[in-house]
Structure 1
Amino acid sequence: MQETRLDIDRIQAARRMIDPIFLDTPLYRCEALEPGLGCAVNIKLETANPVRSFKARGTELVASLLADSGSRDVVCASAGNLGQALAWSGRDRGLNVTVVASRHATVAKLDRIRALGARLELVDGDHELARARAAAIAQHQGIRLVEDSLDIETCEGAATIGLELVDTMPSLDVVLIALGGGALATGVGHVVKALAPGAEVICVQPSGAPAMTRSWHERRVVTTDSTDTIADGVAGRYPIPAVLDDLLVVADDAVLVQEASIIAGMRMLLGHAGLVVEPSAALGIAAILEDRDRFAGRHVVTIVCGSNVDMDAYQRWVGA
């Protein structure tokens, strides 16, 4: 495999630094989903932890390194899940965490960030404006800026999911990975391609937030002027060049799915697996729904990456 920014030895070391409460999340075959999807569906449940998303695997590394260095102040931009994770990891290590988010972010995510003790600053714009504001705060105050997907620790933390997949599923055919900034896709993808090279790595993004997928297909950074998707956790507009370079090495394909398929995936996960998930976590199921023939008869893993959802919106979407 061509080189990426990641390294298997560092990822193995990362697993030893992460609080075990975030490791070894459930991985199981969900037979109830299979009649409707036509393939063997395996769920990697990254919501079974205190912050209900995979993001703490990376923030555990960031916060540990900061605490060891004596630094106490850190800022990040977040659609919600990274902010919660950094707040949780920072609280346990005595860090002063500032999170910048859009005023339009999911209320449940913002409330949880506050409850975990972080300082929350809201901006009147989307996630890209929050990224710019977080960078300005870091520069002005001279503190650590955590940039999701660009900071290698966020990718290494996510990559530990890949270690657990290949350790548990030797007959893995396909991994479906939600694609936003790219930490999850590049991290898991790197491990799968290094340790289970016969498995196909497919990234999935909403058609209403296609920047990284378009960039992967065109092999250059493609930006968009806006996003229009309920999957707020993956709704970026400006791909990071270094992350795209990694994604070009580890991903076999990147696909876009429609909003109706995302909602159908959320309904299936609720009805057949008993899982309440945020839209980003249903992207893998949406991909199967839109191309059943591609996955027919194969052993597929979908990473259910988050369950921090506004319940009023969720009930409107799924009719629960």
Structure 2
Amino acid sequence: MSDPVTLHDIYLARSRIAGQAARTPLILSQSLSARFDAEIYLKLETLQPSGAFKLRGALNKIASLAPEQLERGVTTASTGNHGRAVAWASKRLGARAIICVSELVPANKIAAIEALGAEARVIGRSQDDAFVEARRLVAEEGMALIEPFDDPLIAAGQGTIGLELMEDVPELDRVLIGLSGGGLLGGIGRAVKGINPKVHVTGVSMLEGAAMIESLAAGKPVEVEEEASLADSLGGGIGLDNRCTFELVREVMDDHHQVSEAAIARAMLHFFEHEKMLVEGAAAVGLAAIEEHGIDVRGEKVALIISGNGVDAETLMRAKTLIDYPAR
């Protein structure tokens, strides 16, 4: 079986999205580097025009569609950030977009989708429920389905982050990546290991509703009940008919940690108070894993993927109530 995503695919994606998605900064965190006796770098996907890494994959996929497909429009199911990315890319490329979301998606993320000119359609209690409506739109209205993760073009787009990491820190030792459907981790993992197989790829999920980890443990894609979390962008299933990311993640991920809501909250508040950044829970799980599991990164060059900024004041206040946040 050939690789669903190759290093060459990722280079092609970079060419396709150039000038639209941002080449985001990689900055050294002085506070985290001092705390963990390592070089801790932050990859700021929060600075994408849509506010999250998802724009890379969405642009790569939509830009590959034929003109007649663009005219019929595109649709997807999303926990928020992918929907914003599809809305942004569709507006840029002149396509109508309907974004199907579940009731668990925060109101601020729905508003952000609508602000970009797309229709947000709220369906059911899970991403799987929302996908039923998206697939109906494909079958009955001829819209093109833009998968959130399980598509080689989507994963290749996200993999362009890995190319940038290796260019900016050629001696990178480890990258910690939020793990949900696997497009982000799979794409980045393929890129960094394609350049240097010794780079250690660590995936991070929340404690409840971690579909990819449950699936890997079972040896096949399985259904997992979705749970509310500060890391809501990591929610959703991987699809029982997963064609790409299950095998990709199994191949490129070296280890994995699950983190508590309190650990996610502490990490979010660190970024707010010490890095002066507003980041969503899914963007903070790398730091949460290092803190909660005592990952020994001493002497290493480490990248944390700060994946998105889709957080509102209410969620940040809820994070603060979860913990007794110590002054540092």
Equivalent of 1:263, from 265, 268, 293? 265
Say whether the 8 Å CA contact 1:213–1:255 is kept in structure 2. no
Equivalent of 2:276, from 274, 291, 303? 274
Matches of 1:158 and 1:192 in 2, distance apart? 12
Structure 1 ranges of 4+ moved more than 6 A: none
Matches of 2:245 and 2:288 in 1, distance apart? 24
**What amino acid does structure 2 have at the position aligned with 1:59?**
A
Q: Do the aligned partners of residues 238 and 159 (structure 1) sit closer, same or farther apart at CA in structure 2, a change above 3 Å counting? A: closer
What secondary structure is seen at the aligned counterpart in 1 of 2:87?
helix
Say whether the 8 Å CA contact 1:128–1:238 is kept in structure 2. no
Written as runs of structure 1 = structure 2, the 5 A alignment for 1:106-117 is 106-117=106-117
| Offset, 1:70 | 5.0
Matches of 2:210 and 2:147 in 1, distance apart? 20
| Offset, 1:238 | 4.0
Deviations 1:157-216 (A, max 9, x none): 100000001111112111001101111010000011110111100111001122211323
Deviations 1:114-134 (A, max 9, x none): 111111211131212112221
Paired positions, count: 319
Moved more, 219-228 or 69-78: 219-228
Q: Determine the structure 2 residue equivalent to 1:84.
A: 84
Deviations 1:282-305 (A, max 9, x none): 010011002224323322100000
| Offset, 1:144 | 0.8
Matches of 2:202 and 2:2 in 1, distance apart? 19
Matches of 1:66 and 1:237 in 2, distance apart? 25
Q: Do the aligned partners of residues 228 and 308 (structure 1) sit closer, same or farther apart at CA in structure 2, a change above 3 Å counting? A: closer
Moved more, 35-44 or 122-131: 35-44
Say whether the 8 Å CA contact 2:151–2:244 is kept in structure 1. no
Q: Determine the structure 2 residue equivalent to 1:209.
A: 209
**What amino acid does structure 2 have at the position aligned with 1:257?**
V
Calculate the TM-score normalised by the size of structure 1.
0.94
Moved more, 13-22 or 172-181: 13-22
Stretches of structure 1 that go unaligned for 5 or more consecutive residues are none
Q: Do the aligned partners of residues 293 and 155 (structure 1) sit closer, same or farther apart at CA in structure 2, a change above 3 Å counting? A: closer
Q: Determine the structure 2 residue equivalent to 1:222.
A: 222
Moved more, 294-303 or 175-184: 294-303
Q: Determine the structure 2 residue equivalent to 1:125.
A: 125
Stretches of structure 2 that go unaligned for 5 or more consecutive residues are none
Cα-Cα RMSD: 1.9
Sequence identity, in percent? Answer: 31
Q: Determine the structure 1 residue equivalent to 2:186.
A: 186
Written as runs of structure 1 = structure 2, the 5 A alignment for 1:41-120 is 41-66=40-65, 68=67, 70-72=69-71, 73-120=73-120
